[in-house]
């Protein structure tokens, strides 16, 4: 039985971490100095990547109980460009976005939207794909357009861009984000832990708990494929640029990752991976 | 069991008024629900015809049948001796549960495929995180209890601050504080040690109170006898007081362990692949999370039952010196 | 007297808050002496003997036990306690240990006696209190009288210089009193130095070298049993004796 994934974050106190902790104490800040994270990665020969284990098809635990998915493949490809092994850890989303990684992992490959606020604590070396966000309704719903959902109850993952969109509070201030407009006027927005629980409420019936869910188009299509009685309504409402994230303060690492993603775009690796996982090329907006 | 009286009481479930009330209540309850689309209604088809069009008569007939079965069942169980009663009621409740899970139309092959991983990764992690934590928590509890009972102001202040703080904060928050907060002080600890630390500190605080009351429950004479023979504090505590306090301490500590087993699921937020984490993760891609959640629920339950049995055994063991 | 003093109390006073329990007590117990202390409840007699092994602290005056002046510091108290045996009203046996282990615990854990030797000593004293056959039982399986005899054996195992008895028979059923008193009489006959707080006047008459009567925290009267019982001098003593001997 394969369980080494689970063990990746079970090593206790390596000497490296002790050193980093000591340096941090001395300087009172993270990361220690430019290039420190890159040095550490190259010295160890491993890139520790944080990702979600519960976000199919970007990242999930596959049939052989290993992490798999688009984000996971992208991370592995970046590792290959850097010439290091890739190790995954799966802390909760809040833990990742809280910053202060403290050397527990070096890079986040988990479809993070590069907002201005997040840019205060993170560097976003490269946008590697764009997710179209769309609105799903129960298959019995009479709604034909997004306008039909005026005054209805809408669900979305808590603190996600989807929720922000539904609440008309979305700023897509990342470079290369295409413009969008608010086409949804819900009466109420319900927050969910993840999109699956939102879909679970939607499947109970049209208007039982929810009238619609805002989520990523891929996750809507996946749920539909798995037999959820839901369907997309209207066109995608916005395109969300999604980026690799690292902690601020290591331009060398940032540059390396940017180079790697650029190369992967140029040689078609990203398009291929996107086709593999989504059936279409999300690595560019069109 | 309570201390039974010797008065020969008539069995409650055989009293006519009770049987009638029960029958009426069940009848009304099931008439209130529309059961016409259930498999039970299908069974009643010969009596009520097409279930969906049988209307009020159909509802009444179904409710009546259920009420008869239920009441008869209860009355019959009333005749059985105590042990048999317990067994039958357990079995029936269990069957009802299984029937309830049956309504989810779970994919058994998927469960069978994932079960080994749930156990080898999830259960193992859950168990060892909980086991290590309960051991550390017990050590903290002994120290905390001694400090809380001491006449040293520092010790008392620290111990009472500690119990107050860690009992007052939600465990999830403690997990976050330790995992995210300690690195600020320069201590970078990984997810598993952080989880163990959080669980130990939180449960240590609860168990401090358990140990304190356990220690206080020991008669003053035991201290006096020990002192009169020249035993020091540590010796008295280790050899005389704690061994006697254990029977008082163990039942609530067993409860704590069972609840820790389940609270250890909170460390999944920092990415520890324990049972709860896997339950939420494994079936996600194929939207078979109900399968995993229910499997994990059953596993948690079975683990708790095992712990209850172990606890009962230990309690029996300590009961020995109290029997004439 | 020529025998050396085992316990010497000089002007001992003790207060519980503002309540003056012991008022300038002076008492000397010589080696081999058997002393019975009696008095109405609340007179301070139990408190006095509990001061002798520092289960209670006195606030004024001096107590010297076996040549060591009690002042309450850790090592000092431990020294005194391992030389003074005490038998309690409610036995206070350790219920989680067998009778034998109750007797072996002190020598092994305090004095560092090897287990084999401790066992031998324990069996010797259990023999002496005539219950060697109960050695492997737990205290709760024994009658009250048997438990109190085990408690006596447990104290003897420490080979103390003096034995203190704090109302050893008052928690016993009447038919068990005599077996405990017999054991104590046997000890007295063997020359053990004893201080007994008890209302067993028959025992006092038969065994005591001196009887001390306490009331309201003071030693009111002391003397030989003969003088004490037949010619009490104080009114309070007379009143007490008339009450206690009425039945």
pLDDT digits (tens, 9 = 90+) for A116-173: 888 888 999 999 999 899 999 999 999 999 999 999 999 999 888 899 999 998 877 7
Whether chains A and C touch (3+ CB pairs under 8 A) is answered by no
Helices A217-225 + A195-203 axis angle, to 10: 50
Cβ of residue B273 closer than 8 Å to a chain A Cβ: yes
Both structure tokens of B189: 């600890």
- Calpha distance C70→B259 (Å, rounded): 51
Both structure tokens of C35: 């002393």
- DSSP bridge partners of A238: A133
A80 — alpha (psi -120 to 50), left (phi > 0) or beta? alpha
Q: What is the CATH number of the domain that holds C10?
A: 3.40.50.300
C176 — alpha (psi -120 to 50), left (phi > 0) or beta? alpha
Cβ of residue C168 closer than 8 Å to a chain B Cβ: no
Vertex B171 angle, CA B168 and B173, to 5°: 90
Say what the pLDDT of residue A240 is. Answer: 85
Mean pLDDT of A2-25: 39
Q: B139 CA to chain A: closest CA distance, Å?
A: 21
Contacts of A98 in chain B (CB under 8 A): 180
C66-103 per-position pLDDT tens digit = 888 888 777 788 888 988 999 999 999 999 999 999 99
B219 contacts C88? CB cut-off 8 A: no
B224 contacts C88? CB cut-off 8 A: yes
Average pLDDT of adjacent 10-residue blocks, chain B of 324 residues:
78 88 92 80 81 81 90 90 92 90 84 90 93 95 94 94 94 89 83 92 95 94 94 93 91 91 88 88 81 91 92 82 55
**A28: DSSP letter:** S
**B268: DSSP letter:** G
Is A105 within 8 Å of A75 (Cβ atoms)? Answer: no
Say what the pLDDT of residue A97 is. Answer: 87
Say what the pLDDT of residue C12 is. Answer: 94
pLDDT band at A33 (very low <50, low <70, confident <90, very high): low
- Calpha distance C216→C22 (Å, rounded): 8
pLDDT band at C19 (very low <50, low <70, confident <90, very high): very high
Q: Which residues of A215-239 are buried (b: 16+ CB within 10 A; e: fewer)?
A: bbbbbbbbbbeeebbbebbbebbbb
E strands, chain A, are 46-50, 54-55, 59-61, 67-68, 85-89, 107-112, 122-138, 153-157, 188-192, 212-216, 230-247
Nearest CB partner across the interface for B230, out of C81, C96, C154? C81
Say what the pLDDT of residue A4 is. Answer: 34
Domain B113-320 sits in CATH at 1.10.3720.10
pLDDT for C154 beyond 50: yes
Q: Please enumerate in sequence order all residues whose Cβ is within 8 A of that of B6, keeping only pairs 6 or more positions apart, or say none.
A: none
Enumerate the domain spans of chain B. 12-103, 113-320
Is A3 within 8 Å of B121 (Cβ atoms)? Answer: yes
Number of domains in chain C: 1
- Calpha distance C14→C61 (Å, rounded): 9
Cβ of residue A104 closer than 8 Å to a chain B Cβ: yes
B324 contacts C90? CB cut-off 8 A: no
The CA–CA distances, whole Å, from B52 to A221, B55, B65, B66 equal 35, 7, 17, 18
> Residue holding tokens 């140990």?
B211
Torsions phi, psi for C188 (to 5 deg): -60, -40
Is A130 within 8 Å of A285 (Cβ atoms)? Answer: yes
A257-267 per-position pLDDT tens digit = 999 999 999 99
Is A241 within 8 Å of A130 (Cβ atoms)? Answer: yes
Q: Which residue is closest to C108 within chain B, CA to CA?
A: B231
* Domain ranges, residue C198: 5-245
Q: Please enumerate in sequence order all residues whose Cβ is within 8 A of that of B130, keeping only pairs 6 or more positions apart, or say none.
A: B199, B257, B260, B261, B264
Cβ of residue A100 closer than 8 Å to a chain B Cβ: yes
Contacts of C105 in chain B (CB under 8 A): 229, 239
Q: Residue B113 class from Cβ within 10 Å (0-12 exposed, 13-18 middle, 19+ buried)?
A: middle
B225 contacts C110? CB cut-off 8 A: no
B271 contacts A95? CB cut-off 8 A: yes
pLDDT for A25 beyond 60: no
Rg of the Cα trace of chain A? 20
Say what the pLDDT of residue A193 is. Answer: 84
Cβ of residue B236 closer than 8 Å to a chain C Cβ: no
pLDDT for A14 beyond 80: no
Is B261 within 8 Å of B303 (Cβ atoms)? Answer: yes
CB pairs under 8 A between B and C: 63
Q: Please enumerate in sequence order all residues whose Cβ is within 8 A of that of C220, keeping only pairs 6 or more positions apart, or say none.
A: C39, C213, C214, C234, C236, C237
Mutate to test the interface with A, among B176, B271, B290, B296 (most CBs of A within 10 A): B271
Vertex C144 angle, CA C29 and C97, to 5°: 90
Total-model pTM: 0.78
pLDDT band at A286 (very low <50, low <70, confident <90, very high): low
Cβ of residue B161 closer than 8 Å to a chain A Cβ: no
Q: Please enumerate in sequence order all residues whose Cβ is within 8 A of that of A20, keeping only pairs 6 or more positions apart, or say none.
A: A32, A40, A102, A103, B188
A22 contacts B271? CB cut-off 8 A: no
Cβ of residue B228 closer than 8 Å to a chain A Cβ: no
């Amino acid at each position: 039985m394969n369980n080494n994934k689970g063990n990746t974050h079970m090593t206790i106190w390596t000497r490296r971490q002790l050193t980093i902790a000591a340096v941090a104490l001395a300087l009172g800040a993270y990361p220690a100095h430019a290039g420190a994270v890159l040095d550490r990665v190259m010295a160890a020969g491993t890139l520790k990547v944080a990702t979600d284990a519960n976000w199919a098809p970007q990242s999930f635990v596959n049939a052989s109980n290993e992490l798999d998915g688009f984000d996971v493949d992208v991370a592995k490809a970046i590792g290959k460009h850097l010439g290091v092994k890739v190790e995954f850890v799966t802390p909760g989303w809040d833990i990742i976005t809280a910053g202060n990684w403290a050397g527990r992992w070096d890079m986040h490959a988990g479809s993070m939207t590069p907002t201005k606020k997040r840019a205060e604590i993170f560097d976003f070396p490269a946008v590697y794909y764009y997710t179209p966000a769309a609105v799903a309704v129960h298959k019995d719903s009479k709604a034909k357009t997004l306008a039909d959902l005026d005054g209805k109850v809408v669900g979305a993952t808590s603190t996600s861009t989807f929720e922000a969109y539904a609440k008309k509070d979305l700023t897509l201030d990342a470079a290369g984000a295409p413009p969008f407009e608010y086409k949804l006027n819900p009466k109420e927005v319900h927050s969910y832990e993840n999109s699956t629980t939102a879909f679970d409420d939607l499947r109970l019936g049209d208007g039982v708990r929810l009238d619609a869910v805002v989520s990523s188009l891929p996750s809507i299509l996946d749920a539909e494929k798995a037999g959820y009685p839901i369907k997309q309504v209207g066109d995608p409402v916005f395109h969300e640029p999604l980026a690799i994230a690292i902690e601020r303060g290591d331009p060398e690492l940032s540059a390396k990752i940017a180079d790697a993603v650029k190369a992967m775009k140029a040689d078609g690796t990203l398009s291929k991976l996107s086709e593999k996982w989504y059936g279409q090329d999300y690595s560019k907006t069109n | 069991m309570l201390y039974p009286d010797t008065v020969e009481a008539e069995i409650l479930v055989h009293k006519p008024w009770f049987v009638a009330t029960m029958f009426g209540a069940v009848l009304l309850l099931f008439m209130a629900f529309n059961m016409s689309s259930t498999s039970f209604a299908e069974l009643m088809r010969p009596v009520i015809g097409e279930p969906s069009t049988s209307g009020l008569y159909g509802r009444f007939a179904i409710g009546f049948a259920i009420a008869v079965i239920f009441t008869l069942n209860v009355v019959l169980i009333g005749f059985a001796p105590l042990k048999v009663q317990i067994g039958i009621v357990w079995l029936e409740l269990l069957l009802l549960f299984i029937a309830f899970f049956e309504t989810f139309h779970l994919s058994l092959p998927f469960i069978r495929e994932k079960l080994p991983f749930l156990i080898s990764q999830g259960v193992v992690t859950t168990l060892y995180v909980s086991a290590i934590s309960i051991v550390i928590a017990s050590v903290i509890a002994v120290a905390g209890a001694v400090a809380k009972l001491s006449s040293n102001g520092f010790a008392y202040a620290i111990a009472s601050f500690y119990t107050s703080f860690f009992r007052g904060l939600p465990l999830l928050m403690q997990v976050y504080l330790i995992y995210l907060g300690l690195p600020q002080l320069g201590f970078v600890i990984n997810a598993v040690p952080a989880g163990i630390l959080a669980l130990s500190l939180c449960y240590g605080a609860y168990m401090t109170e358990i140990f304190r009351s356990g220690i206080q429950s020991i008669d003053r004479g035991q201290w006096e006898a020990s002192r009169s023979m020249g035993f020091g504090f540590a010796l008295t505590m280790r050899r005389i007081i704690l061994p006697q306090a254990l029977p008082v301490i163990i039942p609530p500590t067993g409860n704590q362990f069972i609840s820790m087993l389940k609270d250890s699921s909170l460390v999944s937020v920092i990415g520890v692949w324990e049972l709860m984490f896997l339950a939420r993760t494994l079936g996600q891609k194929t939207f078979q999370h109900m399968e995993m959640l229910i499997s994990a629920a059953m596993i948690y339950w079975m683990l708790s039952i095992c712990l209850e049995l172990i606890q009962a055994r230990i309690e029996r063991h300590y009961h020995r010196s109290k029997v004439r | 007297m020529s025998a050396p003093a085992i316990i010497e109390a000089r002007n001992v006073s003790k207060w519980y808050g503002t309540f003056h329990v012991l008022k300038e007590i002076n008492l000397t117990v010589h080696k081999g002496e058997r002393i019975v202390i009696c008095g109405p409840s609340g007179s301070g007699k139990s408190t006095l003997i509990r001061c002798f092994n520092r289960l209670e602290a006195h606030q004024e005056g001096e107590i010297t036990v076996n040549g060591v002046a009690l002042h309450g510091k850790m090592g000092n108290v431990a020294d005194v306690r391992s030389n003074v045996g005490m038998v309690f009203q409610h036995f206070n046996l350790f219920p989680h240990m067998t009778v034998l282990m109750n007797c072996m615990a002190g020598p092994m854990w305090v004095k560092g006696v090897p287990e084999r030797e401790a066992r031998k000593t324990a069996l010797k004293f259990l023999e002496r209190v005539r219950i060697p056959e109960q050695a492997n039982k737990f205290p709760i399986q024994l009658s009250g009288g048997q438990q109190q005899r085990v408690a006596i054996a447990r104290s003897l195992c420490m080979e103390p210089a003096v034995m203190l008895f704090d109302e050893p028979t008052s928690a016993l059923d009447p038919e068990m009193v005599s077996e405990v008193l017999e054991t104590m009489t046997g000890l007295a006959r063997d020359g053990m130095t004893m201080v007994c707080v008890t209302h067993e006047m028959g025992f006092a008459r038969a065994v005591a070298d001196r009887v001390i009567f306490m009331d309201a925290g003071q030693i009111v009267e002391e003397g030989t049993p003969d003088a004490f019982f037949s010619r009490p001098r104080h009114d309070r003593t007379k009143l007490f004796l008339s009450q206690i001997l009425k039945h």
